[in-house]
Structure 1
């Protein structure tokens, strides 16, 4: 049970002065391009982070960004996560490669925290997470976040991003903040667009089609429908090895399609029925590590020249919501809703073999699937009260309840995908020549072994929560809010969180705002019950690693314990400055401490492999499991500013800038369990590689400057973004590498006439690449770039787009 004094949080927030934060904050982790907002956006009414009906961006006590569809489309991408990373402070979205299913469902980080520590809403309703759990060497390792790219950009009206802890308002996961995707609700008109592009290298060709249309529903209702589909070829930035390029290293091949609708139908005066839904299907073909002809894992009778195994993931993502809201004559606003969503992810392994089946091995396998589902019932009530001590307006009182059921299921692959016959094969030397000895072959389909029946399972849990939220203006200058939430989970019990928000406007040009809150994140079912075997490269050497469930007897023998919820404390202090018309500046400092942070342990190698053999697990080099082994603290600052010039002839020029710097430090690492010490002396649950990933794996800072000119027919935009340095840690300090900061420039030009718009653009127009990885420093010589690069490693991308809008 988590119990915190809100009074103590308020006192602590008051002590968090800008000078103190600046003195204690060193640059580190997490990027942040400028949120491209105009002065008018500060006056827009928001629905995220507040229950009040008239709260705006400028009057919010917590930092919030509004990302418009124009901003999303101007980024030159059709992926929502990529677009947000280019438009948002504090969002990091690298493009890892050769990371199994993570190539298909990439995680994003907000404010340098874990991808699953940000809550995603659609139209204010909780979105389900992906079934995938990111297990390999990428940022967000061990997380199962929401798949943002399953939401079609063509359906989005705008995105609201609350950069502040909000567990007391929304429940689990809202430690780093909240991303609320608001769908279009037009009753007429529409848009249609076609886009084509490719990289300077000539690969990665992409086409995308999208459209949306609004229709009137009843007398005052609407039905808005959107579709989107496209295809992306793979990219390859691998370099020659032994004179040839056999490996592929870059973005996967993707075929995608998505559909959504958003509807509302008035039933009577003040009563409306609403519903919305999204559907996405994505086929992703990604690459594993090439098996050379002389690799002991290869059978030359099948692949005389070696082979490149591939993973074909099919991700199906569905979410539907049905609700009723009513405005009563006594001032109460009631909202009842039920939503159900799920993600299915299947694994089909191609161009591969199972070495233990010998020359009769099939070349492709069905390796099983993962399913994650969520059903939520919400009942919310809100009313504005006139009270004598609230001089600046009414007191908004909101309360409600939520009931949620979550399920996670893994299903086995076909028998050949996990079979291990114990076949003995000749041992090979470093040159691939037989040594005369015999060794046991590896089992299972290569690059990704099928899920075994004993590894698969079906698990579910339920939770219920009650919340109370108070918000209002004490005077015309002073406003505040208080929220308290209690949740009960069927698998680990109760937790209570609270949040205090305050804002004081010294004048219309300057205001201070601050928040103090506690939060939590429940361990996901994936983190508790996922189990599989996969190949990982550690220091450039392949190892077969088992990810154990925490309740597996072998995991327990290695020190695993039942997972507890993460607990956080958030402080934020900021200023909103509007010195003149059409100019604004916001500065927000924050500190987030997370206790019992859930993390995937180090790959436990060495003597662990011999121990696993005694447990009947052969030819596996090591194991790992999830653990509450870390306490972390993240400190940072966000700065966002902009100015709009009104020019002659009705044209305008917007200049926006954004900067983020933050640093995550590990405050505590649990001692190595006695059980693990007994297996292997010197093993650490969280070793230096993973400590480095948490603290230095994301860019230390990020700066972005955008200028957009709009005329009667023409639009031109230019963005320059500086990504700060990041460090990749090896198993020893000698194998660490720090990657230097890089500038990336994007340009676009558009022409509008009679509903048509024609545009061309270039992302990364100067063809910037990250530093090359030092060969031998934990990397393979033919993989020249780090997968942690925040802007990828594909180089310049050129595109053209045609769109038509009608009213």
Structure 2
């Protein structure tokens, strides 16, 4: 799509927005206060909604609210997490103020009684236990105030068992954007929404040795937790409702909308662990602010959030055990031995060094980041409002690669006498903005919106060199980067009919999406390999001109740790998709509820797809219900998977290899018969029960599921030049690569599992209660059937989908997670104790003899909060109270002392005990 066509679409959208706003076109006031029914305290930040009208307010610091609205009769509803919702009728008279006060009781709300938005387009409110599919509602603000975790990925990893995310190490760009998954599926098989609108993914495709290899995810950490009101996790296939990617489920992030309330929070902490470098490492500081203002007198608002983070690295490497020096590195002028001999111990003694001086940095990356978010809505009439939300975030990360040792041809000792530890410095920008108008017209609820988002990732490589330039090399390079942009326009319409059975809701909508993926080349020295004359090496360069190290091996070109993108890698590709969707929800009786959804979507690059979903819920008794669903789904291969191409250094069993990633329309792919990518398809079935036990203050939900995925996209193993022909060898040499890898629809998978959620509340006294939450998941993914290798590679299935890839997919993250949380709350203080069980995982390796099972472990968190002043809370606590670590890797998996704990299979990280303090001001 040309730039002019894009501008026309955006211009047409804003014209439509204006026309719809003008189509919706003597007031009085409603005022009052909201109190805690137990102690009479005013409640701050309560949402006061005028039902069936797009207006409302939030209570201020004194628990008071004011709504200006046209004369008429209305119903008010108050909602706040942790309290019962209450409805009251009111009649507004022009020119007068009607006072309506509310009292509400505290209740269980963390995962049960909060009205959810995700999974339905109906206007009738339903709680997570009333929905036809499982939904977790996570009160982010409560967790941010009590739990040790601050970033969204960390919070969800400890709060929602079906969600999994960990920081990675020595994995290039993936050190800087944590891959996350739902129900053990890929990071690209869960859809993320913000306020119900599709969020863009990152521009990074994970190509190194981590869980989620070959996948593209969404950077949840680019959204500050201080901006989030709650997170809704829909644990069911929803592609028929929301489109591509929603195979495992949907995560909907609801932004804060409170007004007249200032919250400032500071966090500080560090890892005080038996494995820390020195007394502690990995220090973390965060300052965030959230403030909302009313706009006008009819319930409009704007809510701002600003956040800044500064995180130091951690290192859990013990000591390098392998070779460091060869004879040609000797500083002894009288040395006359074998120049290739290992003289490490003698040379360390001569230099007054230890093996630890040559350690890598194995742990979390360092970063500094800042973000600004807003959420706003302005009523334009009695029945319509304009809304907008969005944010800007910036992250500057720093991670390290493998140490380049003095004896290796990758090191030029005249530049780095003792070798060097190359660094990847990331510059990540994330921007998004959504705007829309919603309102009522002739009984229909209408919503027209446009959501734009973009992510860019630039690689600045430091403390490095281009070995083929030897002394002429620079020590830092711009290796280029990539970007991804998405623009989604939606029109939604829904209508509720009370006179059909017990109520019927019908909805339909249209979506048009534009996506663009680009790769930007780095500077020449970041990717080029030079000969002795300073010219770029080509397949025709004579062997006599190849630059070689002291050991006779050819020196590699490009920036060490991350060779730059070449001009031949550079591209800017786009695609569009158009969709129509419809769904109906019917209350057949007071105890029988059913839904059906259908979606047709057409992509400009691979054609169209049809998907449907049916679901139902039977209220068997007042306290017990059964629910179930069946759906088909799909995931379009991302533009990143279709077009990504580069050359990177991959370490296999500690040995560096230059591997080229080639797109499926490349000549290399054609030689090996690699077909073009097509969409993944899925079938999802779930069955569950819910129980509300009011006499026991307890809710229970249990949901079992099975997800079958066909033609799943994976990153293949590495094919060598010997797998093709002379032309393949020449093509690999032209990009300084010794092997080739691709994205391919290689396998089918089956995922089966069960989720359990139990919530309980015990009232200790009038001003104290204990909340108990138990949630658990078991999810098992297995490869089904044969590997879909190309006809030319029928004898190469073990490379097409290798053993490492199988383990990443099946068992590199815990199949079992259990969360038990106890929270004690009193007027001026609270306490939390949480235990999370992370189940066993397997070492991801192609060497069957070295495959290792790491046992499951419990990790405990605790915190205590106290109201030290009228508006000030101090919280202190510990993550990983017992300083628990995963099992140590066997010697064969430690890469000569580099990785005491598995680098590739993460259970819960390897940072150990974390101590923190938090100061929160609420004004």
TM-score by length of structure 2 reads 0.80
Identify the residue that residue 295 of structure 1 maps to in structure 2. Answer: 408
Matched, 1:631 2:743: no
**What whole-Å deviation, never above 9, does each CA across 1:523-556 have from its counterpart, x for those lacking one?**
0000000111111122222211111111110122
- Preserved CA contact (<8 Å) 1:36 1:706: no
| Contact 1:422–1:441 (Cα < 8 Å) also in 2 | no
Alignment of 1:238-637 (within 5 A): 238-242=317-321, 243-245=355-357, 246-328=359-441, 330-388=442-500, 390=501, 392=502, 394-423=503-532, 434=550, 438-581=552-695, 582-605=697-720, 607-608=722-723, 612-615=728-731, 617=733, 619-637=736-754
What is the alpha-carbon distance in structure 1 between the residues aligned to residue 785 and residue 797 of structure 2?
18
**C-alpha separation between the residues in 1 aligned to 2:793 and 2:474?**
38
- Is 2:291 the counterpart of 1:213? yes
Counterpart of 1:359 in 2: which secondary structure? helix
Q: 1:781 to 1:609 in 2, by over 3 A?
A: farther
- Aligned partners of 2:396 and 2:427 also within 8 Å: yes
Q: Report the secondary structure of 2:281's partner residue.
A: coil
User: 2:785 aligns to what SS in structure 1?
Assistant: strand
Write the distance in 1 (CA, Å) between the matches of 2:719 and 2:877: 47
2:109 match: 40
1:69-84 mapped onto 2 (5 Å cutoff): 69-84=141-156
Is 2:160 the counterpart of 1:91?
no
1:36 Cα offset (Å): 11
Partners of 1:340 and 1:374 within 8 A in 2: yes
Q: Is the 8 A contact 1:338 1:377 kept in 2?
A: yes
Aligned counterparts of 1:187 and 1:731: Cα–Cα separation in 2:
56
Cα distance change on mapping 1:661 and 1:118 into 2, 3 Å: same
Q: What number of residue pairs does the alignment pair up?
A: 759
1:791 aligns with 2:869: no
* Partners of 2:471 and 2:814 in 1: CA distance: 47
Given that 2:513 and 2:577 are in contact with CA atoms closer than 8 Å, whether structure 1 keeps it comes out as yes
**CA offset at residue 240 of structure 1?**
1.1
* Alpha-carbon spacing, 1:579–1:465, altered in 2? closer, same or farther (3 Å): same
**Structure 2 partner of 1:779:** 895
Q: Is the 8 A contact 1:729 1:735 kept in 2?
A: no
User: Structure 2: how far apart are the matches of 1:475 and 1:48?
Assistant: 23
Secondary structure of residue in 2 paired with 1:57: coil
C-alpha contact (below 8 Å) 1:183/1:262 kept by paired residues: yes
Other structure's SS at 2:562 match: coil
Q: In 2, distance between residues paired with 1:105 and 1:566?
A: 24
Among residues 84, 108, 132, which one is paired with 1:61 in the alignment?
132
Aligned counterparts of 1:761 and 1:681: Cα–Cα separation in 2: 52
Distance 2:785 2:499 in 1: 47
Give the 3-state SS of the residue equivalent to 2:891 in structure 1: coil
1:765: which partner in 2? Answer: 881
SS in 2 for 1:697: coil
Please name the residue that 1:30 is paired with: none
What is the CA–CA distance in structure 1 between the aligned matches of 2:379 and 2:135, rounded to whole Å? 31
Between 416-425 and 273-282, the greater mean CA deviation after superposition: 416-425
Cα displacement (A) at 1:668? 2.8
Q: Look up the SS of the partner of 1:615 in the other structure.
A: helix
Measured against aligned partners, the alpha-carbon deviations of 1:393-438 in whole angstroms (never above 9, x if no partner) come to x20010010000000000100111111114567867xxxxx45xx4
Q: Distance in 2 between matches of 1:60 and 1:620?
A: 53
2:308 is equivalent to residue 229 of structure 1: yes
Find the aligned partners of 1:534 and 1:134 in 2 and give their Cα distance: 12
Between 531-540 and 418-427, the greater mean CA deviation after superposition: 418-427
Residue 606 of structure 1 and its aligned partner are, at CA, apart by: 7.3
What do the CA deviations read for 1:647-676 (whole angstroms, capped 9, x no partner)?
124100011111111110101343432334
Q: Distance in 1 between matches of 2:295 and 2:128?
A: 31
Change (3 A) 1:546 1:794: same
Kindly indicate whether the alpha-carbon contact (under 8 Å) linking 1:222 and 1:264 is maintained by their aligned counterparts in 2: yes
Q: What secondary structure, in the 3-state scheme, does the structure 2 residue paired with 1:40 have?
A: coil
The 3 A distance-change label for structure 1 pair 240 and 484 is same
TM-score computed with the length of structure 1 as normaliser: 0.92
CA contact (8 A) 1:95 1:790 kept: no
Give the gaps of 5 or more residues in structure 2. Answer: 1-80, 84-106, 322-354, 533-544
Return the match for 1:112 from 184, 188, 208. 184
Alignment partners' CA distance in 2, 1:625 and 1:73: 45
Distance 2:235 2:796 in 1: 43
Q: Distance in 1 between matches of 2:188 and 2:266?
A: 33
Q: Which residue of 2 aligns with 1:4?
A: none
Instruction: Give the CA deviation at 1:778.
Output: 6.9
User: In the TM superposition, what is the alpha-carbon distance from 1:610 to its structure 2 partner?
Assistant: 8.4
> C-alpha separation between the residues in 2 aligned to 1:125 and 1:776?
47
When structure 1 is superposed on structure 2, of 44-53 and 460-469 the one drifting more is 44-53
Distance (Å, rounded) in 2 between the aligned partners of 1:610 and 1:284? 41
Q: CA deviation at 1:51?
A: 1.1
8 A Cα contact 1:467 1:483, kept in partner: yes
- After superposition, the C-alpha distances for 1:547-592 in whole angstroms (9 at most, x for unaligned) are 1111110122123211000000000000101233420111000100
CA contact (8 A) 1:36 1:71 kept: no
Q: Is the 1:133–1:144 contact (alpha carbons within 8 Å) kept by the matching residues of 2?
A: yes
Superposed displacement of residue 742, structure 1:
0.8
How far apart, in 1, do the equivalents of 2:467 and 2:525 lie? 11
2:785 to 668, 677, 693: 668
Per chain length, whose mean CA-contact separation is higher, i.e. which structure has more relative contact order (CA < 8 Å, sep 6+)? 1
Identify if the C-alpha distance between structure 1 residues 616 and 697 changes in structure 2 by more than 3 Å, giving closer, same or farther: closer
Preserved contact between residue 72 and residue 87 of structure 1 (Cα < 8 Å): no
Q: Structure 1: state its 5+ residue gaps.
A: 1-34, 429-433
- 8 A Cα contact 2:521 2:565, kept in partner: yes
1:108-131 alpha-carbon deviations (Å, 9 max, x no partner)? 010010011000000000000000
2:193 pairs with one of 121, 131, 151? 121
Residues 1:134 and 2:206 aligned together: yes
**2:205/2:215 contact within 8 Å kept:** yes
For the 8 Å contact 1:516–1:569, the answer to whether it is kept is yes
Structure (1 or 2) with the larger CA radius of gyration: 2
- Alpha carbons 1:46, 1:160 under 8 Å: kept: yes
For the residue of structure 2 that corresponds to 1:574, the secondary structure is strand
1:14-59 deviations in Å (ceiling 9; x for gaps): xxxxxxxxxxxxxxxxxxxxx9997335222111001122122111
Checking the alignment, whether the CA contact within 8 Å between 2:483 and 2:518 is kept in structure 1 is yes
SS in structure 2 of the partner of residue 776 of structure 1: helix
Matched, 1:179 2:251: yes
Which secondary structure state, in structure 2, belongs to the residue aligned with residue 409 of structure 1? strand
Distance 2:312 2:391 in 1: 25
Question: CA-atom RMSD, angstroms?
Answer: 1.8
Q: Secondary structure at the match of 1:607?
A: helix
Q: Which residue number in structure 1 is paired with residue 872 of structure 2?
A: 756
